[in-house]
Structure 1
Amino acid sequence: MRDILDRLLDWQRHGVACALATVVRTSGSAPRPIGTSMAVSADGEVLGSLSGGCVEGAVYELAREAIAEGVTLGDAYGIADGDAFAAGLTCGGEIEVQVRPLGAAEYAVLRELAALRDAGRPVALTVPLGDGAGTGPGRDWSLATPDRLPDGPVGEVARRALSDGTARTGAADGSDPACTGESAAHLVVPFVPPLRLLVYGATDFAGALSRIGRFLGYRVTVCDARPVFTTTERFPDADEVVVQWPHRHLESIRGELDARTAVCVLTHDPKFDVPLLVRALRSPVGYVGAMGSRRTHADRLERLREAGLSRLELAALHSPIGLDLAGSSPEETALSIAAEIVAARRGGSGAPLGALSAPIHGAAFGAPAVVTAVPAGS
């Protein structure tokens, strides 16, 4: 829903009637996560995608029906059966979709949501789903913020969604969110500020990492104490270029750090990286990585121990930084680092998908990744 919000509001300003189709539950290897939305206008225009093409045609027709009848509808889509053209997910999973015509009440909530998002405030849209099949009439939409959470179990679901930026469902009575009947499941879709990537060391690797960080939707900061190297011209993809000693910069923004922040230390110089890593590893950031050879890593660990870091604190350090892709160029190295950051955030193993027994998309969206042995020569 995040990627189509502005276009939805543009439709509203121009009086375009539409319905919003949203994935409210998934199982198995579903192609898109809960909270993914597609909008269909009365004149047939489409915004967004629910499944990469598998069921869009069927959802499109359901949305046109919802607009015509002015009611909330729902359906589930799974593996296609004997009809090769039936709506189904060839990936083997199932998604449940709710389709709701948008009216004045919904648009009022969406306008407030957009205003809070534009002000940089974390906010979540809470959508009651009606009965367990997602076909009930629904009730009023509402917004949740860190200082204004709903009462009861749904408030806890909203708190978690705002914390990690992941959409969730939950039942108002605290029971299994997949339950049916009158338990009134809710969908909570967070709109939070961008993930943050702090890159220390004004090198070619930093330039490549800032490019891929921006591509992944991070707000990228490049920081180095050397003004001749730390310029916006050298790092056009960074949102912010700072000339400052790295550890002093991190200390200055300590109150802004959280689990959605990644710190990458590319300085190769103990006078920069040791005081920086001491502070980073004692902060609430979600990822800390440092570049260097294995010899550099061993020397760095010794210096960090001498600085007082515990074994538990050192265990959080990703060093040498990145996954083993056998690459060497700045771009290949940046890809390796970015892959490790994503794996750390999502709980991925970093193993080849062909060696996993867990659902492909389940692993991507945070399900445990189970590695199975692959016989030699198979």
Structure 2
Amino acid sequence: MEILQEQLRAKKAGISYAMLTVAESEGTTPCKLGKKMLLLEDGATFGTIGGGELERQALEDSAKAIKDGQSFFKHYDHKPTYEEPGLGCSFKVSILVEVVRPLLQLVICGGGHVGSAVLRLAKNLHFETILIDNRAIDQIQDQIELAERFIPCEAYEAGILNGNIRDGAYYICCASTHTQDKSALKGILQKRFAYLGMLGSMRKTTEMYRQLEAEGIGRELIEQIHCPVGLDICDMSPEEVAFSILAEILMVKNSGTGKSRMDIR
């Protein structure tokens, strides 16, 4: 029961983990068939698959698997190291290690034309899409259905701060008014984020940045905002703007250059 509770807690908190299960067991061994053990990315463990050197080796392999994001199935042979024959037992155990890593969160602040296009395109990428919008649900039902999760709000700042969004999320501000975008920015800039982009002209951007600085937000934070948002690859249709935004997000996520692969040597 403890393992299940900790597994659910890790999922909710967005923590990577590995579940170890004894899938095959041969010989006299404490590693009984079906025994399970949970390893969290910070090294915490719950349960046991039998202890000893074999468990230590399996945990070491599993910790590497969490970093690599790769599940595996491995056979372990245990042979006694005692010099005197007859002491200790030989056995073979197969361990299934299932690695679970949380999806990165992509937060769309405003489900307008561009926001809706981002939601549609992001379905083919490995993100948990979260829509935040302050409009009535019946006005944005289609957009809500496109998202993995919907956070209703009156003010975007409050929706972001109270919406159970993990650190390291990717944000796009594309609300229907400058005031709403500013509210979203004020919330996001209080959190740790991997990417923050905002739709808008240079004129809008300059004025909004001036207001944010006047309200005490540091310039070093403001300079992390991508605005105008997206790569220079599109016309100004919502679909192509959305594509260019996601291209920029992938560039940041994967530490890319934005160059054509043909030009990279």
TM-score (norm 2): 0.65
3-state DSSP of counterpart to 1:198: strand
Q: Relative contact order (C-alpha < 8 Å, sep 6+): which is higher?
A: 2
- Superposed, 1:61-210 pairs within 5 Å as 116=7, 120=11, 122-124=16-18, 143-146=38-41, 148-149=43-44, 158=63, 166=69, 190-210=99-119
Deviations 1:137-171 (A, max 9, x none): xxxx97521454488xx87x949956xx8569xxx
Higher helix share goes to which structure?
Answer: 2
3-state DSSP of counterpart to 1:233: helix
- Alpha-carbon separation, structure 1, partners of 2:65 and 2:196: 22
- Superposed, 1:312-331 pairs within 5 Å as 312-331=220-239
Asked if residue 212 in structure 1 is aligned to residue 110 in structure 2, the reply is no
3-state DSSP of counterpart to 1:120: helix
- Alpha-carbon separation, structure 1, partners of 2:65 and 2:255: 16
How many pairs align?
208
- Alpha-carbon separation, structure 2, partners of 1:324 and 1:166: 32
For structure 1, list consecutive stretches of 5 or more residues without a partner in the other structure.
Answer: 1-111, 127-140, 169-187, 358-378
Structure-1 residue corresponding to 2:192: 284
2:161 to 226, 231, 251: 251
- Alpha-carbon separation, structure 2, partners of 1:117 and 1:167: 20
Deviations 1:59-110 (A, max 9, x none): xxxxxxxxxxxxxxxxxxxxxxxxxxxxxxxxxxxxxxxxxxxxxxxxxxxx
Asked if residue 239 in structure 1 is aligned to residue 148 in structure 2, the reply is yes
Contact kept? 2:170, 2:196, Cα under 8 Å = yes
**Structure-2 change in CA distance of 1:125 and 1:119 (3 Å):** closer
Q: How big is the alpha-carbon RMSD for the aligned residues of Structure 1 and Structure 2?
A: 3.6
Q: Which moved more, 1:305-314 or 1:223-232?
A: 223-232
**Structure-2 change in CA distance of 1:331 and 1:117 (3 Å):** farther
2:182 to 257, 274, 278: 274
For structure 2, list consecutive stretches of 5 or more residues without a partner in the other structure.
Answer: 21-35, 46-55, 72-96
- Alpha-carbon separation, structure 1, partners of 2:65 and 2:156: 31
Structure-2 residue corresponding to 1:31: none
